[in-house]
């Protein structure tokens, strides 16, 4: 196994990857590379990049991919498999979703908080023997994994959680009125309000209402697009999130670190697909506007 690394290269090369977990800490020492040419063609490429780096696909991936290579993206949101399809055949592309609470707390150091299931699927086709084989390999390694017969539906199901908790966690710095009423003057990357963790979003009745309204918008859009996503998924997500405690969603951490937000995949692309299908998503549209303003303001500061 090879790790193609960017900012964490030196740390991982010297000390490996340390995972701290309530289920037990462990450390691995992978082979590291800075350039894909150092690795060459492989059987499986597993993509864990932030979606803001997808423009690097054309540079990073071709040296790793041969005619028999499977390319699996475990990235957030929508459109990542489509990005890969511009470079490789549909038959080479797989997608997956990670249901796990964890944070990168230092170079080469991961704090696992809870959960850890992976869902695998094929891009634009039914599961194949390789899909089940890879799921079995992950399970054998101690990573719970199941196969979905509809990868697109699974992406929309995960957006039911990702859109409200990632989005509102960041947008909360602009204040409740800015998010609910889309008040541009309330949006500033230098706002004194803190980003809200999942427990605080659910503890405040106003934010909790927005969480649920966003969830129901996503579910309604998914149904119009042909995916049978039940309303009950909203309640299930809320209850699971309460059990997480004060979890800091990944987009919140990106914002606090001054990094680009995963706007396109997590927010703008779902809104685009829903709008194209004739579904009104006023809460998501307002959230997108606030997040775009915050991201642009942060870029100007940087």
Instruction: Return the active site residues.
Output: 158
Tell me, what DSSP letter sits at residue 76? Answer: S
Tell me, what DSSP letter sits at residue 299? Answer: H
The residue whose two tokens read 């090879």 is 2
Instruction: Give the DSSP H/E element, type plus range, for residue 245.
Output: none
Pairing of the two strands 2-4 and 31-33:
parallel
The pair of three-digit structure tokens given for residue 117, joined into one six-digit string: 């299931």
Q: In sequence order, what are the residues at sequence separation of 6 or more whose Cβ sits closer than 8 angstroms to the Cβ of residue 11?
A: 106, 107, 108
Alpha helices in 123-231 (DSSP H): 129-140, 151-171, 176-181, 198-203, 205-224
Distance CA 256, CA 178 (A): 19
The pair of three-digit structure tokens given for residue 292, joined into one six-digit string: 């775009």
């Amino acid at each position: 196994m090879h790790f193609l690394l960017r900012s964490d290269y030196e740390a991982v090369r010297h000390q490996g990857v340390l995972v701290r977990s309530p289920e037990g800490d462990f450390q691995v020492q992978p082979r590291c590379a800075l350039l894909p040419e150092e690795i060459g063609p492989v059987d499986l490429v597993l993509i864990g990049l932030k979606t803001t780096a997808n423009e690097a696909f054309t540079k990073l991936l071709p040296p790793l991919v041969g005619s028999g290579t499977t390319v699996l993206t475990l990235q957030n949101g929508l459109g990542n498999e489509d990005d890969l399809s511009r470079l490789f055949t549909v038959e080479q592309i797989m997608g997956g979703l990670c249901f796990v609470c964890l944070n990168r707390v230092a170079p080469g150091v991961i704090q696992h908080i809870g959960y850890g299931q992976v869902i695998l699927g094929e891009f634009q086709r039914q599961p194949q023997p390789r899909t089940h084989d890879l799921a079995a390999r992950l399970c054998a390694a101690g990573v719970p994994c199941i196969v979905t017969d509809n990868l697109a539906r699974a992406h929309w199901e995960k957006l039911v959680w990702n859109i409200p908790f990632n989005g509102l966690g960041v947008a909360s710095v602009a204040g409740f009125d800015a998010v609910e009423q889309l008040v541009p003057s309330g949006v500033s990357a230098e706002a004194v309000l803190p980003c809200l963790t999942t427990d605080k979003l659910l503890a405040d009745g106003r934010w909790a209402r927005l969480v649920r309204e966003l969830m129901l918008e996503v579910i309604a859009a998914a149904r119009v697009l042909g995916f049978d996503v039940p309303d009950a998924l909203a309640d299930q997500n809320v209850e699971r999130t309460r059990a997480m405690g004060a979890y800091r969603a990944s987009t919140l951490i990106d914002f606090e670190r001054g990094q680009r937000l995963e706007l396109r995949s997590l927010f703008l692309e779902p809104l685009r697909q829903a709008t194209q299908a004739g579904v009104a998503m006023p809460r998501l549209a307002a959230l997108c506007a606030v997040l775009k303003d915050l991201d642009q303001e942060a870029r100007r500061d940087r």
